[in-house]
Amino acid sequence: MRIDVVSIFPEYLAALDLSLIGKARQDGLLDLNVHDLRDFTTDRHRTVDDTPYGGGAGMVMKAEPWAQALGSVAEAGTGDGVTPDAETRPVLIVPSPAGAVFTQAMAYELAEEKHLVFACGRYEGIDERVLEWADERFDVRPVSLGDYVLNGGEVAVLAMVEAIGRLVPGVVGNPESLVEESHSDGLLEYPVYTKPSSWRDRNVPDILLSGNHGKIAQWRREQQLQRTAARRPDLLEKFDVSQLTKADKAA
Ligand code: 6GU
């Protein structure tokens, strides 16, 4: 998978050299490129923002540097310098608190793409005409991490690249570990324990020491349901009740 990130703070994305995602880059599974938006300006001051039409607080990011930057990465992705056609269009993710909320389902979907481009806005946002222009070249998706405001898209991109990148085949060594984690089945994950079995007068639940794998699976399932009901009742409302077994209902 190719990933391009455009930002005025490319140093923010340095963390993507570390850990699992850094290893995936070294292994050639993720071709991740970070670009400085200011490299696509033409004036002496490398200006990327200006005052908003209609007035109001703050600054708005200028259209032309964004068109130059995004045009360059779209064509780089095709490898032949030609604007891509509709089927092979890269996905342009625009992090914004005004976007659709990013979910595990979205991460799975985006993990199937060949080319993702992230446009990190700062200040009050990017001139809206850039998104209209981009619509003809990309599959444009404004995406939010949740209902709160960050100063810019960079931190959101770190989160999204990690969530998506770990689902790309080969990035996580043991794909089984993706199966039993929170949100993989619409529920929160069950609690986990390791040695020692008794620690500061607290014991690991007996059932986990029993060796009875059927019972353990059922206990974990109950824990998932109880936790989700306590912490995220909104998830239970969306949960497909036909997935519940007789034993689940008894719990
Ligand atoms: Cl994706 N961007 C910004 N700037 N703020 C956010 C966000 C994204 N998600 C939640 N708040």
pTM over the 0.90 mark: yes
* DSSP assignments along 56-103, one per residue: -SS-EE-HHHHHHHHHHHHHHHHSSS----GGGPPEEEEEEEEEEEP-
The preferred substitution site among 61, 92, 149, 151 for testing ligand 1, maximizing ligand atoms within 8 Å of CB, is 149
Second-level CATH architecture of 2-175: 3-Layer(aba) Sandwich (3.40)
- Enumerate residues 6+ apart whose C-beta is below 8 A from 67: 130, 133
Position 85 confidence tier, pLDDT thresholds 50, 70, 90:
low
**Please, which residues bridge with residue 248 across strands?**
none
In this structure, are residues 228 and 188 in contact, taking their beta carbons and an 8 Å threshold?
A: yes
**What's the pLDDT tens digit per position in 187-203?**
999 999 999 999 999 99
Could you tell me if the CB of 142 is within 6 A of ligand 1?
A: no
The annotation status of 22 as a binding-site residue, yes or no, is no
Domain ranges of the chain: 2-175, 180-250
CA distance 98 to 95: 8
| Mean pLDDT in residue range 63-81 | 89
**Three-state DSSP class for residue 12:** helix
Question: Could you say which of 1.20.950.20, 2.30.110.10, 1.10.10.10, 1.10.1270.20 is the CATH number of the domain covering 180-250?
Answer: 1.10.1270.20
Position 81 confidence tier, pLDDT thresholds 50, 70, 90:
low
**What's the pLDDT tens digit per position in 49-63?**
999 999 999 999 999
- In 92-118, which positions are buried (b, 16+ CB within 10 angstroms) versus exposed (e)? bbbbbeebeebeeebbeebbebebbbb
Q: What is the Cα gyration radius of the chain?
A: 22
CA–centroid distance, residue 180 to ligand 1 (Å): 28
Q: What is the pLDDT of residue 4?
A: 98
**What's the pLDDT tens digit per position in 232-249?**
999 998 887 777 766 677
- Enumerate residues 6+ apart whose C-beta is below 8 A from 219: 190, 205, 207, 208
**pLDDT cut 90: percent of the chain above it:** 81
Residue nearest to atom 2 of ligand 1 (CA): 96
Q: What ipTM is given for this predicted complex?
A: 0.95
Position 77 confidence tier, pLDDT thresholds 50, 70, 90:
confident
**Three-state DSSP class for residue 187:** coil
Q: Which two tokens stand for residue 232?
A: 């995220």
In this structure, are residues 1 and 115 in contact, taking their beta carbons and an 8 Å threshold?
A: yes
**What's the pLDDT tens digit per position in 210-231?**
999 999 999 999 999 999 999 9
Could you tell me if the CB of 125 is within 6 A of ligand 1?
A: no
The annotation status of 130 as a binding-site residue, yes or no, is no
**Three-state DSSP class for residue 166:** coil
Q: What is the pLDDT of residue 123?
A: 80
The preferred substitution site among 5, 94, 145 for testing ligand 1, maximizing ligand atoms within 8 Å of CB, is 145
CA–centroid distance, residue 26 to ligand 1 (Å): 29
CA–centroid distance, residue 235 to ligand 1 (Å): 22
| Mean pLDDT in residue range 11-33 | 94
CA–centroid distance, residue 203 to ligand 1 (Å): 41
The yes-or-no verdict on residue 82 having pLDDT over 70 is no
Could you tell me if the CB of 96 is within 6 A of ligand 1?
A: yes
The annotation status of 13 as a binding-site residue, yes or no, is no
**Please, which residues bridge with residue 115 across strands?**
2
Q: What is the pLDDT of residue 80?
A: 66
